[in-house]
Structure 1
Amino acid sequence: MSKMKGAIVVNTDRCKGCALCVYACPQDVIALAEKKVNVHGYPYVEAVKAEACVGCSSCAIVCPDGCIEVYRKKMEE
């Protein structure tokens, strides 16, 4: 049996902190950085539970600025 494992990469400099991806993530993998901002002064999203990512790409699909890339890998159990 195999299971999908995902990993997200966020372009923090392009992120405007709209948090649409946070609400779209079914696994609560990402959250807005609480005390960090990017070069433009926006709080950005970051993976807070990266190990829980299943690679569904919901976050990347809803991102209006295309800041998120999702990678998927099949894991053998």
Structure 2
Amino acid sequence: MERLPKGFIKVLEEDCKGCGVCMDACLEDTLEISERRNGMGHRYIQQVRLEDCTGCGLCYIQCPSSAIEVYKLVEKEL
């Protein structure tokens, strides 16, 4: 059975300095540094293993550049 994410993040690539603080904060290990660079020349963070994201917001809280937005997904009852 396919696992669905409980949340997801959006990295504001142009604001990200690629410091990796958010990667250290992520308990689910869903973040890594991209091979691509932003306009400032920094390799920015990207989310991988989307299905493991809980939307906890620890990455957002720790980001010194405020370059992360967190979205928590809510299950609808049928």
Q: Which string of whole-angstrom CA distances, capped at 9 and with x for unpartnered residues, describes residues 10-56 of structure 1?
A: 000000010000000000111111x2111110000001111110010
Offset, 1:76:
5.9
Cα distance between partner residues in 2 of 1:54 and 1:13: 24
Give the TM-score taking structure 2 as reference length: 0.86
Matches within 5 A, 1:47-66: 47-66=47-66
Unaligned runs of 5+ in 2: none
Letter in 1 for 2:18: G
Q: RMSD across aligned C-alpha pairs, in angstroms?
A: 1.6
Matched, 1:12 2:13: yes
Unaligned runs of 5+ in 1: none
Matches within 5 A, 1:1-77: 5-33=6-34, 35-75=35-75
Give the TM-score taking structure 1 as reference length: 0.87
Letter in 1 for 2:69: E
Structure 1 segments of 4+ aligned residues over 2 angstroms from their partners: 74-77
